Amino acid sequence: YSHQPEAWNMRVVLGIATVLGVLGVLASFGLFYLGERVFQLDRATIQSLMYLKLSVAGHLTIFVTRTRGPFWSTRPAPILLWAVIGTQLIATLIAVYGVFMPAIGWGWAALVWGYALPWVLVNDRVKLAAYRILVRNRT
Protein backbone atom coordinates (compact mmCIF):
# COMPACT_ATOMS: atom_id res chain seq x y z
CA TYR A 1 0.00 0.00 0.00
CA SER A 2 1.12 3.54 -0.72
CA HIS A 3 1.06 6.48 1.63
CA GLN A 4 -0.08 8.62 -1.31
CA PRO A 5 -3.74 8.86 -2.33
CA GLU A 6 -4.84 6.62 -5.16
CA ALA A 7 -5.24 8.49 -8.45
CA TRP A 8 -7.98 6.89 -10.48
CA ASN A 9 -7.57 6.53 -14.21
CA MET A 10 -11.20 7.11 -15.18
CA ARG A 11 -10.71 5.64 -18.66
CA VAL A 12 -9.71 2.33 -17.05
CA VAL A 13 -12.41 2.51 -14.37
CA LEU A 14 -15.16 3.21 -16.92
CA GLY A 15 -13.75 0.60 -19.30
CA ILE A 16 -13.87 -2.12 -16.65
CA ALA A 17 -17.35 -0.99 -15.56
CA THR A 18 -18.58 -1.14 -19.15
CA VAL A 19 -17.15 -4.60 -19.77
CA LEU A 20 -18.62 -5.99 -16.55
CA GLY A 21 -21.94 -4.25 -17.23
CA VAL A 22 -22.22 -5.82 -20.68
CA LEU A 23 -21.39 -9.25 -19.25
CA GLY A 24 -24.05 -8.78 -16.58
CA VAL A 25 -26.66 -7.96 -19.21
CA LEU A 26 -25.63 -10.99 -21.30
CA ALA A 27 -25.86 -13.25 -18.25
CA SER A 28 -29.29 -11.85 -17.39
CA PHE A 29 -30.60 -12.39 -20.91
CA GLY A 30 -29.14 -15.91 -20.81
CA LEU A 31 -31.10 -16.77 -17.68
CA PHE A 32 -34.23 -15.17 -19.12
CA TYR A 33 -33.83 -17.30 -22.26
CA LEU A 34 -33.40 -20.46 -20.19
CA GLY A 35 -36.47 -19.66 -18.11
CA GLU A 36 -38.69 -18.78 -21.05
CA ARG A 37 -37.54 -21.04 -23.88
CA VAL A 38 -35.85 -24.02 -22.25
CA PHE A 39 -37.83 -24.45 -19.02
CA GLN A 40 -41.00 -22.74 -20.37
CA LEU A 41 -41.70 -20.98 -17.09
CA ASP A 42 -44.46 -18.43 -16.67
CA ARG A 43 -43.52 -14.75 -16.56
CA ALA A 44 -44.12 -14.39 -12.81
CA THR A 45 -41.69 -17.22 -12.03
CA ILE A 46 -39.13 -15.78 -14.45
CA GLN A 47 -39.42 -12.44 -12.65
CA SER A 48 -38.63 -14.15 -9.34
CA LEU A 49 -35.67 -15.96 -10.93
CA MET A 50 -34.40 -12.66 -12.33
CA TYR A 51 -34.78 -10.94 -8.95
CA LEU A 52 -32.59 -13.56 -7.32
CA LYS A 53 -30.06 -13.57 -10.17
CA LEU A 54 -29.68 -9.79 -10.08
CA SER A 55 -29.23 -9.84 -6.32
CA VAL A 56 -26.75 -12.72 -6.25
CA ALA A 57 -24.71 -11.66 -9.28
CA GLY A 58 -24.71 -8.02 -8.25
CA HIS A 59 -23.35 -8.74 -4.82
CA LEU A 60 -20.81 -11.27 -6.09
CA THR A 61 -19.57 -8.66 -8.56
CA ILE A 62 -18.35 -6.68 -5.55
CA PHE A 63 -15.72 -9.39 -5.00
CA VAL A 64 -14.68 -9.25 -8.66
CA THR A 65 -14.29 -5.47 -8.76
CA ARG A 66 -12.51 -4.87 -5.47
CA THR A 67 -9.09 -5.93 -6.76
CA ARG A 68 -7.14 -5.65 -10.01
CA GLY A 69 -5.97 -9.23 -9.66
CA PRO A 70 -8.03 -12.41 -9.40
CA PHE A 71 -10.93 -11.97 -6.98
CA TRP A 72 -9.41 -14.48 -4.58
CA SER A 73 -6.02 -12.72 -4.45
CA THR A 74 -6.93 -10.64 -1.39
CA ARG A 75 -9.27 -11.65 1.37
CA PRO A 76 -12.32 -9.40 1.79
CA ALA A 77 -12.90 -7.63 5.07
CA PRO A 78 -15.04 -9.77 7.39
CA ILE A 79 -17.76 -7.11 7.49
CA LEU A 80 -18.03 -7.18 3.67
CA LEU A 81 -18.11 -10.96 3.55
CA TRP A 82 -20.80 -11.21 6.24
CA ALA A 83 -22.84 -8.41 4.69
CA VAL A 84 -22.92 -10.25 1.36
CA ILE A 85 -23.68 -13.61 2.99
CA GLY A 86 -26.48 -12.06 5.03
CA THR A 87 -28.09 -10.15 2.18
CA GLN A 88 -27.92 -13.12 -0.16
CA LEU A 89 -29.40 -15.44 2.43
CA ILE A 90 -32.29 -13.00 2.82
CA ALA A 91 -32.67 -12.55 -0.96
CA THR A 92 -32.69 -16.32 -1.46
CA LEU A 93 -35.32 -16.82 1.25
CA ILE A 94 -37.47 -14.06 -0.27
CA ALA A 95 -37.36 -15.78 -3.67
CA VAL A 96 -37.76 -19.33 -2.33
CA TYR A 97 -40.77 -18.53 -0.13
CA GLY A 98 -42.26 -15.81 -2.31
CA VAL A 99 -42.26 -12.67 -0.21
CA PHE A 100 -44.04 -10.10 -2.45
CA MET A 101 -43.41 -12.33 -5.47
CA PRO A 102 -44.20 -15.85 -6.63
CA ALA A 103 -42.22 -18.49 -4.72
CA ILE A 104 -39.66 -20.37 -6.79
CA GLY A 105 -38.67 -23.06 -4.29
CA TRP A 106 -35.23 -24.39 -3.45
CA GLY A 107 -34.67 -26.15 -6.78
CA TRP A 108 -34.99 -23.02 -8.89
CA ALA A 109 -33.00 -21.02 -6.33
CA ALA A 110 -30.20 -23.59 -6.61
CA LEU A 111 -30.34 -23.25 -10.38
CA VAL A 112 -29.95 -19.47 -10.10
CA TRP A 113 -26.98 -19.84 -7.75
CA GLY A 114 -25.50 -22.51 -10.02
CA TYR A 115 -25.93 -20.16 -12.96
CA ALA A 116 -24.53 -17.06 -11.22
CA LEU A 117 -21.41 -18.62 -9.69
CA PRO A 118 -19.73 -19.63 -12.98
CA TRP A 119 -20.40 -16.12 -14.28
CA VAL A 120 -18.28 -14.79 -11.40
CA LEU A 121 -15.35 -16.77 -12.81
CA VAL A 122 -16.07 -15.55 -16.35
CA ASN A 123 -16.37 -11.94 -15.16
CA ASP A 124 -13.11 -12.21 -13.26
CA ARG A 125 -11.17 -13.61 -16.23
CA VAL A 126 -12.61 -10.97 -18.56
CA LYS A 127 -11.81 -8.27 -15.99
CA LEU A 128 -8.18 -9.40 -15.90
CA ALA A 129 -7.97 -9.35 -19.70
CA ALA A 130 -9.63 -5.92 -19.84
CA TYR A 131 -7.14 -4.55 -17.32
CA ARG A 132 -4.25 -5.88 -19.43
CA ILE A 133 -5.66 -4.22 -22.55
CA LEU A 134 -6.67 -0.92 -20.94
CA VAL A 135 -3.49 -0.45 -18.92
CA ARG A 136 -1.26 -1.38 -21.88
CA ASN A 137 -3.04 1.17 -24.10
CA ARG A 138 -2.88 3.87 -21.45
CA THR A 139 -1.78 7.26 -22.74
Does any domain span residue 1? no
Q: Which of 27, 101, 30 is nearest to 64 (CA)?
A: 27
* CA 43 – CA 124 distance, rounded (Å): 31
Does any domain span residue 97? yes
Could you tell me what percent of the chain has a pLDDT over 90?
Answer: 89
Question: Which pLDDT value is given to residue 108?
Answer: 98
Does any domain span residue 77? yes
* CA 52 – CA 54 distance, rounded (Å): 6
Count of domains forming the chain: 1
Average pLDDT over residues 89-114: 98
Beta-carbon count within 10 A of 63 CB: 18
Which residue segment(s) compose the domain that 117 sits in? Answer: 10-136
Per residue in 24-80, pLDDT (tens digit) is: 999 999 999 999 999 999 999 999 999 999 999 999 999 999 999 999 999 999 999
pLDDT exceeds 90 at position 118: yes
Does any domain span residue 5? no
The pTM for the full model equals 0.89
pLDDT exceeds 90 at position 137: no
